[in-house]
Amino acid sequence: MTRTTQRIIEANGIRINIAERGEGPLVLLVHGFPETWYSWRHQIEDLAAAGFRVVAPDMRGYGKSDAPQAIDQYTILHLVGDMVGILDALGAPTAVIVGHDWGASVAWQAALTRPDRFRAIVALSVPFRPRAKAVPTSLMPRTETAQFYQLYFQEPGPADAELGRDPRATIRNMLFGASGDGVAAARAAAAAGGPAPNLGMVPKGGGFLQGPGAPATLPSWISESDIDYYSEEFKRTGFRGALNYYRNIDRNWEITGALAGLQVSIPALYIAGDRDFLLSFPGTDQLLANQKNFVPGLRKIQMLPGCGHWTQQERPGEVSAALVDFIRALPNRS
């Protein structure tokens, strides 16, 4: 079997780096924050071995892909346009799209708006959210002493500087902190009398990176060499492009009014870890309970016990197996 290779393609007016491997029906893997194509390293190998052509881009603003300077070049329509542009550049009429975190949001919108190009969707961590009834940042939690982390990310500058001060420590601590291992450690510390987990809140005048950080020895699912790969990418690019996704949350709401009420009609699978911090956000339990109302093609909700936010990295074998089973069961595989 061929190895995973990388190359630059032109798509949607920018240069996008893609990792690719295998032959067969196309599967497009879309990463989240703060990662790169590398978050899919296990699935790329497993899906290619199962008979699929697998393509995982560095999203705009990440890795070796272009990072436009203007904040308004990171709207959800740009991101979905990039995915369609990748299919066009590859000469592929359709693909199964798989997304994690921000990549899941992109995948949901791609499935919603272009079912002619995306024949099925798998979303990891982030469920489908119908368009909010008000500007999203107005609905985010804030108190006199703290604000939701996505509010902290809104202002250009502070978060960019904090995350970029030591990219290796940032990646190492974030990957551990939001993992199933990190959540278990935080819960154990709280039970022993330590501070309660912050559930995504940033203290006023404080920073996003809190807590004791990752231990000296990492969990088995992530290695120091994996951390090295990510940190070298972010040392070169900084975090501005990645943070610009958050700075378009309200703009995305403003430009997608025509999509309100639409349902995701294509076959869908949702996978999440039961320790994913996103599941603790207010209303998420009701959203999952009613997911079939917005995604009538939903085949299954698969919860992974003990798994945190980094689904495909923490549980590579289980995620790969679920993807292969789901895709093989679809009609018209070619």
Dihedral angle sign, alpha carbons of residues 218, 222, 227, 230:
negative
Half-sphere exposure of 144 (CA within 13 A, CB side): 0
Instruction: Quote the CA–CA distance of 125 and 308 in Å, as a whole number.
Output: 9
256's tokens: 């997608």
Query: What are the residues whose beta carbons fall under 8 Å from the beta carbon of 213, sequence distance 6 or more?
Result: 169, 172, 173, 176, 177
Catalytic residues: 101, 309
Cis peptide before 141 (omega within 30 of 0): no
Q: What residue has token string 């495909």? A: 312
Q: How far is CA 18 from CA 21, 62, 119, 227, 241, in A?
A: 10, 11, 21, 20, 17
